[in-house]
Amino acid sequence: MRTSASASGRCGRRSPQSRLAIAVALLLTIAATGAAHGDEPATEAAEAPVPPTADSSISFDRDVLPIFRRSCFGCHQNGKRQGDYRMTEFAALLAGGESEQPAIVPGDPAASYLLEQITPQDGHAAMPQAPAAPLSAAEIETIRDWIAQGAVNDAPASGPSYDAEHPPLYANAPVITSIDISHDGRLIAAAAYHEVILCDAESGERLARLVGLSPRINSLRFSPDSTRLAVAAGTPAEAGELQVWDVATRQLQLSLPLGSDTLSGVCWSPDGSRIALGSGNSVRALDANSGEEVLFQGAHEDWVLDTAFTADGTWPTRAAHSS
């Protein structure tokens, strides 16, 4: 649904008879918060990639990054730092992990531990680990040449960072992927880009913008006592994130990286002690206070789209996409 908005700072017109109408009208508030061209926030122009030169023909962005995304990021990103090595941020990619050896030494392939790990010895490479396919000889040579040529990062800038003081800006209403009404009937929460919008359910007044790390929010739910808000979010193809917000203080209580893709289908146990969610083709249940994982079930053949606890709160059930 697309709509224009006034600058009133409201989420919608009064409608005591239909809080759902106010929830849909949240689009008006989000649309009024900026002047970008399109559904996502305005961003400064990305830095232009460093053009190839005669002695730098291998591009990190074009040639190397796709190899890492396909073969490495699944185990070496925020949600799964195998070997305490994170490859999704360039500085961490160079630094290395628990081996305490630099993974990449610009200009020196022989001193780069990453290259040692991906190069087969006696027909076997330490990385990627099975069941992932090993890198081809051509892929290894591409990485080797890139390191030898200085390991230049020519990827465009990823865009601005957002926080409560610098929230996203919009010209048009973004896609609203999830809406929930607090159990006490006082609040409406709507998922947007990098943030959750809180509104008064009776008046439609916008009360707060809860700005988090993850760009995509797939699902959100108020706790049974309406004091907390669980958010299933993440960065597509990189990492999932569970956020738990204190509704009264508007403070983020918990930010937990999970899995290697965006999360979905968040729900609370009836007593509010646990949170369940979908994480790719798995279901996870976690302690709502500590974030400790109390259940992991990865037997699904496709995406888990939604979860719900049984009436006694013993087990989470789920709805999954199936082929």
Half-sphere exposure of residue 163: CA atoms within 13 angstroms, side-chain side:
2
Instruction: Grade residue 320 by pLDDT with cuts at 50, 70 and 90.
Output: low
For the stretch 221-243, pLDDT in tens is 999 999 999 999 998 987 788 99
pLDDT band at 35 (very low <50, low <70, confident <90, very high): very low
Q: What is the mean pLDDT of the chain?
A: 81
Mean pLDDT of 184-201: 96
Q: What is the mean pLDDT of residues 263-289?
A: 94
**For 17-31, 79-93, 106-120, 158-172, which range has the lowest pLDDT when averaged over its residues?**
17-31
Could you tell me if 300 and 316 are in contact, meaning their C-beta atoms sit under 8 angstroms apart? no
Task: Evaluate whether 285 touches 298 at the Cβ level (below 8 Å).
Answer: no
Domain segments of the chain: what residues? 19-38+163-320, 60-148
Tokens 């230049």, located at residue: 152
- The pLDDT value recorded for residue 256 is 80
CA R_g for the chain: 23
Only one residue has tokens 């979908």, namely: 278
CA angle at 99 for the pair 94 and 105, rounded to the nearest 5°: 30
Fold topology of 19-38+163-320: Methylamine Dehydrogenase; Chain H (2.130.10)
**Cα–Cα distance measured from residue 26 to residue 261, given in angstroms and rounded to the nearest whole number:** 27
Q: How confident is the model at residue 53 (pLDDT cuts 50, 70, 90)?
A: very low
Q: Is 232 in contact with 255 (CB distance < 8 Å)?
A: no
Q: Global pTM?
A: 0.61
Encode pLDDT of 175-185 as tens digits: 899 999 999 99
Alpha-carbon torsion, ordered 139, 144, 148, 152, to 10 deg: 50
Q: Provide the pLDDT for residue 34.
A: 47
